[in-house]
Structure 1
Amino acid sequence: MNTSRRNAIKALGTVAATSIAGGAIANEHLIKPKVELKNNIKHSVCRWCYGSIDFEELCQGVKDIGMASIELTGPEEWPILKKYGLTAAIGWGAWPKGTGLTNFFANTKNHEVLIPFYENLLKQASENGIKSIICFSGNRNGMNDYEGMINCATVIRKLIPTCEKYDVILSMELLSSRNSHRDYMCDHIDWGVSLCEMVGSEYFKLLYDIFHMQSMHGDHIRNIRRFGKYINHYHTGGMPGRNEIDETQEIYYPAVVEALIESGYKGYLGQEFIPKAKDKAGMLASLERCVKICDV
C-alpha cells in the first residue's frame, strides 16, 4: 500500500461525504467497547491508513477496540465521530490550493491564505470539541533553518490569539527529510523546540512522529524526558517501512510508551502504520494488536 497523506486527504473527502449519506448504526449499540484496555495512555488512529474502510464502519471498529479517537479527520467527519462517542485527537482540513506538506508556513507567500483558513478551521474544531489541529513547516526550498523558523514563527504568532480564543492547540509535525519528506524543514526535535521557544505560547506545540524521528535521530525516550513539555501528540509506525509495530521492527514501543506515561503525558498516541491486511476484518485485527502492544 503506497498511500501517502498527500493523496489520502483528497480521497477521504469523498469517503466522508459517502459516510454522511449512509445509514447510521443506532447509538444504543455503541455504549460499551468489546475490548477492555488499561488506558494508561489514550489510543487514537490515523484515518488515512484505513481509507479503504467506510468511515462509519471504521468508527464502529475503533469503538469496539476500545479506542477514543480517529485523527487526521476534518470538519465533515467530526459530527460522525461524535455520534459514535469518539473524537479526533488531532484534526486537519483541506488545505488551500497550492499549499500542503511541502509548501506551508515557511513560505511567506502562503501566509495570506493560511491565516483565514486556520481561523475558520480553529473555530470549527472548537465547535466540535477538537483540541488540536495539525500544521507543517513546509520545505526549505533553499532557505536556511533560521530564516524558515522566523517565517513559521511570524504566521503562527498571528494565529495564537485565535487559538487562545477557541482553546485549540496548533501542532506542527516533525517529519523525516532523510527519507519520505525530502527537504522538509521541521525535521529534527531541536529545530522544533527552538521554534516553540521562539513562538512562546502554550497554544503552539509539536507532533512527535516516532517513525519519522527514528529516521532522523532516534533517542525517543530521552527526547520525551527532555522535551515533553513542547510535545502535545505522538504518532507510531514500524521502522523501516511504516509497518505494523511488532517484534520485526527496530522500535520497541512498550518502552517508549512507558516513558510517555512516566513523563506525565496525558494526550493521545496515534497509530500510523500501514496494515498488512487488505480486508476490513484483517486491518482492524492488526490495529487491535498494535494498540494492545502500546497499552502498557
Structure 2
Amino acid sequence: MNASATRFSAPDWCFFREGTDPAAYYRQLRALGITGVEMVDPVRRAAARAAGLEILNIAGPGMEVGLNRREHHADLVPRIEAVIDEAAAEGIPQVIVFSGSRGGQADGEGIANCVTALKPLAWRAEAAGVTLAFEMLNSHDHRDYQGDRSGYGFAVVDAVGSSAVRVLYDCYHMARMGEDLERDIAARVDAICHMHVANPPDRSAPRDDGTIDWRVLRARAQQAGYRGYWGLEFLPRGDVMAQIATAVTAMSDAAKAPASTSA
C-alpha cells in the first residue's frame, strides 16, 4: 500500500475546540489529507460529511463502569444497543466499547463477563452492519482499567467469535504498557478493526524522531494486511493544524519507506 492509499482520521475530542466553526474546522482537516473523523458530536456530523469526511465511530459507555462485571450488564447492554442503533441509522461503521475498571477482579473473570455481554450485542451489531471496537487502554493514564493488554482484547474477540467484534488497537496505550507492537499487530491483524497512534510517553504527535519507529511499524502492519484507518489520537501542543500536518507527513513518509528487517 502506498502513501496515497493510507487513510488518516482525527478524533474530535483531541482537536475540536468549542467556539470553532465546525465547517471551517472539517474543511481544514480535509485539506491536510484527513479523510475520517471519530467520536463526532451529533450536532457536527452534517458539517463533517459536507467536508467530505467519513465518520468512523461513536464511543459507547462503560470505560470505568464496564462490561467486565455482570452487575453492570443490565444497565450497560441496553445503552450499547441504543448506540449500535444510532450508528446504523447514521451510517457509522463502528461503536467503541470498553472493559471497565479492574477493582481487584481477576482478568479471566473480567474476560468471561465481557464475552457474556458482547455475544448478544454482536448479534445485534452484525444485523445492523456495525462493528464493536473493543479498546484497550493503558492503566497508567486510565488508573485500574482492566483491559490494559492486547492479549485481553484478543481473548475476548476470540471467545465471542463474531466478525462484528474486533480490537481497536491503540499503539500509544500498548507501548505505554511495554508491549511489542510490531509482533502483536502482525500476529493478530485479523482481529484489529482500527488503529490509534501517538508518540509515547507524552502522547504527542507522531514524528520522525519519536520513541516509536513509525517506518518499521507501518511496514509490519502493511505486510500483515492492515488496510484500515490510522487515527491520530494525540494531544496537541501549540498549533493544532500544524501538528496534524506534521503527523500526517510523518505517517505518510513511514508508508513510503521500505520495510526494515530489524526492529
TM-score by length of 1: 0.80
Question: Within 1, Cα distance between the matches of 2:44 and 2:88?
Answer: 14
Q: How far has the Cα of 1:71 moved from its partner?
A: 0.6
Question: Within 2, Cα distance between the matches of 1:261 and 1:43?
Answer: 14
Per-residue CA shift, 1:230-276, capped at 9, x if unaligned? 11111011111101222442111222122222222121000011111
Counterpart contact for 2:206–2:251, Cα < 8 Å: no
Per-residue CA shift, 1:107-131, capped at 9, x if unaligned? 2232122222222211221222211
Which amino acid in the other structure matches residue 213 of structure 2? Y
Q: Following superposition of structure 1 onto structure 2, how do residues 1-296 of structure 1 map, counting pairs within 5 Å?
A: 38-52=3-17, 53-93=20-60, 95=61, 100-177=62-139, 179-277=140-238, 282-295=239-252, 296=255
Q: How far has the Cα of 1:70 moved from its partner?
A: 1.1
Question: Within 2, Cα distance between the matches of 1:39 and 1:137?
Answer: 35
Which amino acid in the other structure matches residue 251 of structure 1? I
Aligned residues: 250
CA RMSD of aligned residues (A): 1.7
Identify if the C-alpha distance between structure 1 residues 190 and 142 changes in structure 2 by more than 3 Å, giving closer, same or farther: same
Question: Within 1, Cα distance between the matches of 2:78 and 2:228?
Answer: 27
Identify if the C-alpha distance between structure 1 residues 110 and 74 changes in structure 2 by more than 3 Å, giving closer, same or farther: farther
Q: Secondary structure at the match of 2:217?
A: helix
Which amino acid in the other structure matches residue 114 of structure 1? L
Counterpart contact for 2:33–2:248, Cα < 8 Å: no
Counterpart contact for 2:208–2:250, Cα < 8 Å: no
Which amino acid in the other structure matches residue 290 of structure 1? A
Question: Within 1, Cα distance between the matches of 2:94 and 2:120?
Answer: 17
Counterpart contact for 1:75–1:124, Cα < 8 Å: no
Counterpart contact for 1:174–1:188, Cα < 8 Å: yes
Which amino acid in the other structure matches residue 200 of structure 2? M
Counterpart contact for 2:171–2:195, Cα < 8 Å: yes
Which amino acid in the other structure matches residue 56 of structure 2? A
Q: How far has the Cα of 1:38 moved from its partner?
A: 3.0
Question: Within 1, Cα distance between the matches of 2:90 and 2:219?
Answer: 31
Per-residue CA shift, 1:83-118, capped at 9, x if unaligned? 22211222225x4xxxx4211111223212222222
Tell me the equivalent position of 2:258: none
Which amino acid in the other structure matches residue 84 of structure 2? L
Identify if the C-alpha distance between structure 1 residues 38 and 247 changes in structure 2 by more than 3 Å, giving closer, same or farther: closer
TM-score by length of 2: 0.89
Over 3 Å off, 4+ runs = 74-77
Counterpart contact for 1:78–1:87, Cα < 8 Å: no
Per-residue CA shift, 1:53-96, capped at 9, x if unaligned? 44333211111112111112244433332222211222225x4x
Which amino acid in the other structure matches residue 79 of structure 1? A
Counterpart contact for 1:40–1:261, Cα < 8 Å: no
Counterpart contact for 2:168–2:196, Cα < 8 Å: yes
Q: Report % sequence identity.
A: 28
